A and B are shown apart, each in its own frame.
Chain A
């Protein structure tokens, strides 16, 4: 199975400051010119919600302070200015190789 490794696992951030989460895969996620790397947010007590698909495509309703980038095996989720509602867990997930696999999760908290 493809191993997804996130860092950091804990991310204390001051309100209004940027935040960045890294996700690395054990194999390239490129397939037929597409890269199936997704980012999910899970607020406390809620189901996960997709933020980003295919590396950099933001879902409808996701604030533009969230952005995704990367290629091959290295990917990043960036939040330009953290707001209180961004507290929660963030997961990357690859869908290129079967079975789908998730990163361990990064806990974002307000400093």
Chain B
């Protein structure tokens, strides 16, 4: 079965960067895009970015464009999301999610990133 397993919780200081990983299993990694979506405490789902694991092409929300970098390691079936210049408003749970035909059919368990001085 499809599984997306994310890295563990992180605590970062303002101005720092964080990298979250998402390891895929149960399917051919390069055959499906991966989205990154975040959810601030008590808030809704906010789409951040997407990667095509086959060719590495990425797209990101204008809201995060200058601060978010999405990469992948096909040999490890893993995608990475790096967010820089962290501020307190970036405190959120970050999810990776598999893209299937303009939809999302599977989600990772989420990674809590806390930004605090």
Contacts and interface: CB of A to CB of B under 8 A. Distances in A.
B41 interface: no
A47 B47 CA distance: 14
Contacts of A50: 103-105
B40 to A, nearest CB: 12
Nearest to A96: B102
A72 interface: no
Interface string B102-117: 1111011110000000
A47 B108 contact: yes
Interface in B61-86: 61
Contact of A91 (B45, B61, B108, B110): B45
A101 B47 contact: yes
Interface string A38-53: 1010000001111001
A47 B103 contact: no
B68 to A, nearest CB: 13
The SS class assigned to the A binding surface is loop
A89 to B, nearest CB: 8
Interface stretch (A20-28, A63-71, A102-110): A102-110
Of the four ranges (under 10, 10 to 19, 20 to 34, 35 or more), the interface on chain A belongs to 20 to 34
Contacts of A53: 101, 103, 105
Nearest to A57: B103
B104 to A, nearest CB: 6
Contacts of A48: 45, 95, 97, 104, 107
Contacts of B59: 98-99
B10 interface: no
B45 A102 contact: yes
A60 to B, nearest CB: 10
Interface of A: 34, 36, 38, 40, 47-50, 53-54, 59, 89, 91, 93, 95-96, 98-105
